[in-house]
A and B are shown apart, each in its own frame.
Chain A
Amino acid sequence: MTTKSRTRPWLFHGGMSLLALLWLVPLLLVLVTSLRTFDDLADRGLASLPKALTFGPYREALGLGEWRSIINSLIIAVPVVIVSLVLASMAAYALARHRIPFRRTLLLLMLAGNLLPAQLLLIPVLKLTEQFGLFDSLLGMIVVQTAVGLGFYVFVLHGFMRGIPDEVTQAARIDGASTFGVYLRIVLPLTKPAMAALGSLAFTWTFNDLLWSITLLRSEEKLPVTPAILGMQGDEFVSSWNVIAAATVVAAIPTVIVFLRFQRYFISGLLIGSAK
């Protein structure tokens, strides 16, 4: 072995650890901030060593009703993920495997919808939800969030489903499967990795959304966790950074759990088709 081949892994690991550390510093900062008192922060600044660590900010954040807002977020995010995936997979299957007239136009339309900035849709959607009686309701949030994400999910799943060999679905057809049977028993199981990856993405997006919730919701008790954290700032001009940091850490837990749970699908999703 030459010296070069022995030092290279060290260089690699050293460099990577440094990069990883850089990534982790902001997270650590939030974590440390969430454990400090407000006076300590105000007195010595954010970039100082803490005088003492306390769970006070967490108690305060949860005391300000963070549980309720996390439950609201889940009430919105879980149905959005399920309904989006069911609808998107059906639409994608139809567009990818059936000769539907204007299927390409439809797909492009869905993609084009994603190119519009959400800000453009805020007022019209607000007025629409008001007319449908969905304004300031969690159901309205579910409907809007599903509608907003659907185009993108269909687009991704469509691409994925086109990669499934035709022969598989044709074989199922010959065995007597109906269109819906093929979808349910052949296509869905094969798209599972993409669905899992998209599902966790959809969950994160919906859970972390702020814009739609402050547009479509008004009642304090219906607010999901992101605007609720905004309301914890404490004052119009000065914010209790420690409480916000604590609330943010708590609010990140559901998304982290979802990601950890579906992590392996990401990897298998990336590898699909590579062993052809």
Chain B
Amino acid sequence: MSYPNVSRRGFLAGFGALGLASALSACATATPAKPASGSGSTSNALLLKSRETSDGSRKAMQALLDTFVKQHPQYKPKLNTMEAAAFQQQIRSDLTLSTPPDVLTWFAGEIASNFAKQGLLLDASSVFPADGYSPQFAQLSTDASGKKVFIPTNYYWWGMFYRKSYFDKWGLSEPKTWDEFIALCKTIKGKGVIPIALPLSDSAWLTASWFDYLNLRLNGATFHRALLAGQESYTDPRVAKVLDSYREVLPYFDPAAKGLAFQEGTAKWQQGKEAMFLSGPFLADAMPADVKDDISFFQFPILDPAVPVAEEAPLDGFIASAHTANPEGAKAFLGYVATPEAQELYLKISGNTVIPANSNAKSPISTPLLEKGRAMVAGAADVTQFFNRDTNDDQLNVLTAAMVKFMDKPDEGADILKQWQNDSAKARGN
């Protein structure tokens, strides 16, 4: 017989040796890549992790790194792009890795200061420019202990987006107040067109935009922040008022809303089957070129003229990890992206409809849409970020559940608010 003459013991020993060898080699290959973590170590590698996957944004990020390295040739920057949802899932573990990405794209608001509270963000106070950022933006970049942990680069706005040609065709004009808005919805519905788009099947978070705006318009930004921070209760009669107004617009949403994906919603809106879309300018960025010029928006209607007008102006920017092996490089990069030149460069290459955060920077591609947005935010008495940026994703999930349930059962507002307060407190407790 000619079977391989291997005894059991010999075989096991051989296999064990193989396993050991592979484990050892893994260690050997991994060790040099692993710097002695924490401060004190010197590495000149600079890893930028970005969540912006579109072609233009990738190129813009790469251009930022290329220009940065020209000014600081001692660093070796590298771009790593991850899809936005995966990025958000990974960032929590990323910031606690022993070899974290050095600089990351992120959002301003509670979502950033929460990381700062856990000591995960690098103190960037030394590179935060003294001039250029509005007090509000500077405040949003500061953590509880007064350190600057976030560098804002650009922001956008929310509004009621519509297509000018369709509004002209239907003979409509922009409403200013809530009553005008409801009357407008009625007129549009009378023409056999769905007044408001709200695609929820894959983007139920859009309900948060309605909650935020109704609450801001009825109760003001101070109450809104206190409510989101858990200092006020969702069972408060002021929140019940928000749902009352929400109930008024329910008949004007697309009846198929819950079955529509975001993309299907934007397609219907683009085709004029839905007239208005409470959204950010990213809606326009995805449209074909000939449609882009036809897009405009109006400010979310005023419900109570006595309440100071607040707008949602989500602020994007960069953070650096506290555990970075290259704190000097990370700070230098943060300092660079705060400059007007860097912000203009990013906007020019990415082509995104966003406004530079540094007020000394000009928009390289200025459109009427962009200027209208800039003027609206500049005229606002206060700005908020967006529900989940002002709190966190757990609170957003609670909101989404409540808002969607209310759309099904608009008569059970009181019960829904009670449940909302319960779930919100529970989510905060964890």
Contacts and interface: CB of A to CB of B under 8 A. Distances in A.
A180 B8 contact: yes
Given A42-B267, A45-B271, A233-B53, A238 B90 contact: no
Contact of A175 (B1, B22, B23, B49): B1
Interface string A118-133: 0000010010001011
Given A132-B27, A133-B29, A184-B4, A232 B53 contact: yes
B270 interface: yes
Contacts of A175: 1
Given A184-B4, A214-B86, A230-B85, A42 B286 contact: yes
B263 A130 contact: no
A237 B282 contact: yes
B267 A238 contact: no
Interface in A147-198: 175-181, 184-185
Nearest to B270: A42
B34 A45 contact: no
B430 interface: no
Contacts, number: 124
A60 to B, nearest CB: 9
B268 interface: yes
A218 interface: yes
B271 A135 contact: no
Contacts of B8: 178-180
Contact of A45 (B1, B83, B85, B267): B267
A62 interface: no
A239 B288 CA distance: 13
B89 interface: yes
Contacts of A46: 263-264, 267
Nearest to B101: A218
B267 A43 contact: yes
B84 interface: yes
A130 B97 contact: yes
A180 B6 contact: yes
Interface residues of A, number: 43
Contacts of A234: 53-55
A135 B53 contact: no
Given A135-B97, A220-B82, A230-B85, A235 B286 contact: yes
A252 B380 CA distance: 51
B1 A236 contact: no
A111 interface: no
Given A178-B8, A218-B90, A238-B282, A42 B3 contact: no
A32 interface: no
Interface string A233-256: 111111101000000000000000
Contacts of B89: 214
Contact of B54 (A42, A220, A235): A235
Interface string A96-140: 000000000000000000000000000100100010111101011
Given A42-B270, A134-B26, A239-B263, A219 B80 contact: yes
B90 A39 contact: no
B11 A180 contact: yes
Contacts of A218: 49, 80, 82, 90, 94, 101
A14 interface: no
A177 B23 CA distance: 33
A50 interface: no
B174 interface: no
Contacts of A44: 267, 271
B20 interface: no
B266 A230 contact: no
Contacts of A15: none
A30 interface: no
A134 to B, nearest CB: 6
A44 B31 CA distance: 54
A227 interface: yes
A186 B425 CA distance: 63
A238 B8 CA distance: 59
B1 A176 contact: yes
A88 to B, nearest CB: 14
10 contacts: A42-B267, A130-B98, A135-B97, A139-B26, A178-B3, A180-B8, A181-B1, A227-B86, A231-B81, A234-B55
Given A42-B267, A177-B1, A227-B83, 13 more contacts: A45-B267, A46-B264, A132-B26, A133-B34, A177-B3, A185-B3, A231-B53, A235-B54, A235-B285, A237-B280, A237-B282, A237-B283, A238-B283
